[in-house]
Amino acid sequence: MKHALVCFGNEENYGLFFVGSELKNFGQEIKFFDAENDKNVLANIGEWNPDYVCFSPMTTFFPQAYSILKSIKEKIPEVVSVFGGHHATASPEMIELENVDVVVRGPVKGTIEKILNGEKGVITSSPGQPEDLQIPAREECYEDIPRMKERYRKIMLSMAGCPYACTYCSSSSLHRTELFGSKIQKDYFLSRRSVDTVIREARIVKKYPTEEIEWVDDDVFAGKNGEEWLTEFVEAWKKEINFPMYVSTTSVSTLRASEEILKTLKRTVNCVGLGVQAIRPDSLRMFNRQWDNEEQLKMAYTRLKNFGYNVNLQAIVGLPLEDPVEDALDTLEGLKRIGPGSIVSIYPLQIYPHTHINQIAREKGFNVNENCSGDTNSGIGGLSFQKDIQKKLRNICKFGTLYVKGAVDEAWGNALIRGGLDYLANEKMDGKWMEYMLNCDFDDETSKMLSMARYHDCVIDRLGKVKGDQVFDKITKTTNIRY
Ligand code: B12
Ligand code: SF4
């Protein structure tokens, strides 16, 4: 049987790679298609004439996936459509939609036999062990979508879940435990693939041009026997793979980590993403992050810096509050106090399906924003606010990185001057600057240049100036920048 695997966005569709390898284990024929860059994607899928068409879209890509599906079904009515991944797992009600035949909730393992046997409807898998994630069908994807092998960064992970339970997050342990129970959360989502399997996967990545691995474990230190695993892993990675890695963590885990492990990890990690998310205690509580606070974040930041890491601080604005702009400004100032001069990423709150923040917002009388695409780079959040508030929140997302960094370089300068925002480029970043920043307007081209200036900062932070500039140049030529 032939299975078309449809990829969305610029990046490697990592979950779908594992679906591909599982299908191959069952002797199935697979082919990847590029919905982002291939203008003839529909014709190409039609011509290949698959028996099954498989999608793994995040929420932001679901409308595009569904529209592609409708067109394919018009051409090939008997094709069976299968949806899986985070969005499908959280939104099984999509099975009610016309043309959606199968929705898989949870890992692919154990579902292919059912699908091939003709089972339709919602199939909930039973996650077994992380070793079920063997070697993803990455090379098959590279063969079908050559631009993917050229991506400067590749995605890898050792552990699929997170121990925390943040209310806005699809990785939340609340969500996973509700669906699969706490034993599976511990044994599958918070356990790691073996070092050997991860290294075997990395050997394949190593054959292709790669500048960095985005290590997408939600918290690099979390899970069972984290330090032991990381120690063995770094040893093997340095010996054989040796790509720089970008990792993520929390303040709690950073402060809990031993000196040895911070030293060891530094051998291969340049930059750490540290989730701040909010500064006000009430906002942290709304996010179910009451375990965090500014003092602890500052200590974690300082600790990471002392071990030589660059730190990317991440925060969320646009909360369901009476004063979302003031809350966002408090967060912005907090970021500056925690990591003055650092690179920060400020995102608008997204309301992903079946996350608890959805319910919290509704109970507080907030509606969802129909204009939100689910992509954080747009600066457009998931909740509907008055126009003026919406604009200020978006501006905080757009200019917050510049404010905390505190210096206008060429990329920022060009964007600001292009948008007629010379004041922001030339004046001191004081209260007047902030007022101007909150209220300024700019066109789409400027918005794109601002997003690129931020992206440029992040790449330099992660790879250093010389390498970062080279890589960024390549990114601008090969990536559809979201803004
Ligand atoms: C890796 C990752 C990325 C990578 C790669 C993205 C990609 N396209 O694959 C990067 C860093 C680029 C990324 C970016 C974004 N991400 Co991301 N990312 C993750 C992360 C950390 C891991 C996902 C993963 O690969 N897990 C490992 C694989 C093996 O598991 P899996 O995906 O669940 O797949 C398994 C099953 O679900 C199932 N399955 C999956 N697909 C299918 C399909 C079929 C047909 C079947 C049968 C089964 C099946 O089988 C797989 C193997 O068992 C998750 C959080 C998490 N810990 O899960 C967030 C997550 C998926 N990302 C998220 C988001 C929002 C984004 C962005 C949209 C953020 C933004 N900028 O706005 C961007 C989109 C970028 C893009 N253009 O693709 C959200 C998605 C929420 C949602 N409801 O959509 C998540 C859940 C994070 C969160 N905390 O909320 N992300
Ligand atoms: S710590 Fe990060 S990945 Fe984990 S639940 Fe919270 S936001 Fe999600």
Model pLDDT for residues 415-474, shown as the tens digit of each residue = 999 999 999 999 999 999 999 999 999 999 999 999 999 999 999 999 999 999 998 988
Pocket test for ligand 1, best of 6, 8, 14, 175 (most atoms within 8 A of CB): 14
What is the chain's Cα-based Rg? Answer: 22
Q: How confident is the model at residue 480 (pLDDT cuts 50, 70, 90)?
A: confident
| Three-state DSSP state, 450 | helix
The answer to whether residue 245 scores a pLDDT higher than 90 is yes
CA distance 352 to 340: 31
Helix (H, G, I), strand (E, B) or coil at 101: coil
Q: Whose CA is nearest to atom 29 of ligand 1?
A: 15
Architecture of 151-478 per CATH? Alpha-Beta Barrel (3.20)
Contact 267, 243 (CB under 8 A): no
Q: Which of 418, 411, 379 is nearest to 396 (CA)?
A: 379
Mean pLDDT of 43-64: 97
Domain with CATH 3.20.20.70 in the chain: 151-478
Residue 162 banded pLDDT, cuts 50, 70, 90: very high
* Whether residue 347 has pLDDT greater than 90: yes
375 band by pLDDT with thresholds 50, 70 and 90: confident
CA of 393 to the centre of ligand 2 (A): 22
Atom 2 of ligand 2, nearest CA residue: 218
Q: Whose C-alpha lies nearest to ligand 2, atom 5?
A: 172
Average pLDDT over residues 40-45: 97
Give the Å distance between the CA of 157 and the centre of ligand 1. Answer: 11
Ligand 2: centre distance to CA 347 (Å): 14
What is the pTM assigned to this prediction? 0.96
User: Who lines ligand 2 at CB under 6 A?
Assistant: 162, 164, 166, 169, 171-172, 218-219, 250, 275
Which listed ligand is nearest to 10 at the C-alpha? 1
Cα(138)–Cα(105) distance, integer angstroms: 22
Nearest CA to ligand 2 atom 3: 218
**Which DSSP category does 319 fall into?**
-
- Per-residue confidence at 478, pLDDT binned at 50, 70, 90? confident
| Ligand nearest to the Cα of 273, by number | 2
CATH 3.40.50.280 segments of the chain? 2-127
Q: Ligand 1: residues whose CB is within 6 Å?
A: 9-16, 18-19, 54, 56, 58-60, 82-87, 90, 104, 107-109, 111, 133, 155, 157, 160, 169-171, 214, 216, 218, 352-353, 375-377
Q: Tell me the pLDDT band of 392, cut-offs 50, 70 and 90.
A: very high
Q: To test the ligand 2 pocket, which listed residue (86, 159, 169) has its Cβ within 8 A of the most ligand atoms?
A: 169
The SS3 of residue 7 is strand
Nearest listed ligand to the Cα of residue 173 = 2
Class of the CATH domain delimited by 2-127: alpha beta
Nearest ligand to the C-alpha atom of residue 190: 1
Ligand nearest to the CA of 193: 1
Please say if the pLDDT value at position 483 is more than 90. no
**Cβ-based neighbour number of residue 402 at 10 Å:** 23
To the nearest 10°, report the CA torsion of 60, 62, 64, 68.
Answer: 160
Q: How confident is the model at residue 340 (pLDDT cuts 50, 70, 90)?
A: very high
